[in-house]
Amino acid sequence: MAAVWARVFRRSFSAARQLSAAAGAEEHQAARTWKILTFVIAVPGVSVCMLNCYLKAQHHTHEQAEFVPYEHLRIRSKPFPWGDGRRSLFHNPHTNPLPTGYEGEEEH
């Protein structure tokens, strides 16, 4: 009886070894494929995107847009709970106007 179980275990272990060896080869091939894709597609793609951002930043003007006091924009039904209540949490005085206009401009 012990001999029978020994043969069964021996067969199952040898089959498991063969399957794990085949899986190891497949995993190696998959890792190689992803490595090639990273260096051929991902790295040049990220590089092109970085170059595009850099070139667009070079041509970007840093002038304030003309303030037009549209009634439907910058509505404040109640003050913000921080600061003086007029500025949003991520307020930038150069790009975000208040309801009356940009900060530092004289009101007309």
3-class DSSP state of 18: helix
- pLDDT band with cut points at 50, 70 and 90 for residue 105: low
Q: What is the pLDDT of residue 8?
A: 63
Number of domains in the chain: 2
In a domain, 108, yes or no: no
User: For a pLDDT cut of 90, what percent of the chain falls above it?
Assistant: 28
End-to-end distance of the chain based on CA atoms, in angstroms?
Answer: 104
In a domain, 85, yes or no: yes
Q: What is the pLDDT of residue 9?
A: 63
Same domain, residue pair 16 and 53: yes
Cα–Cα distance, 74 to 98 (Å, whole number): 7
* Structural tokens at position 93: 């005085």
Average pLDDT (13-38) is: 76
* φ, ψ for residue 98, nearest 5 deg: -85, 175
Cα–Cα distance, 99 to 86 (Å, whole number): 8
Same domain, residue pair 4 and 45: yes
The neighbour count for residue 97, using CB atoms within 10 Å, is 19
Q: Please give the distance of CA 76 from its chain centroid, rounded to a whole number.
A: 32
> Is the per-residue pLDDT at 18 higher than 70?
no
**Per residue in 67-104, pLDDT tens?**
898 888 888 889 989 988 888 899 988 888 888 888 87
Parent domain of 89: 70-103
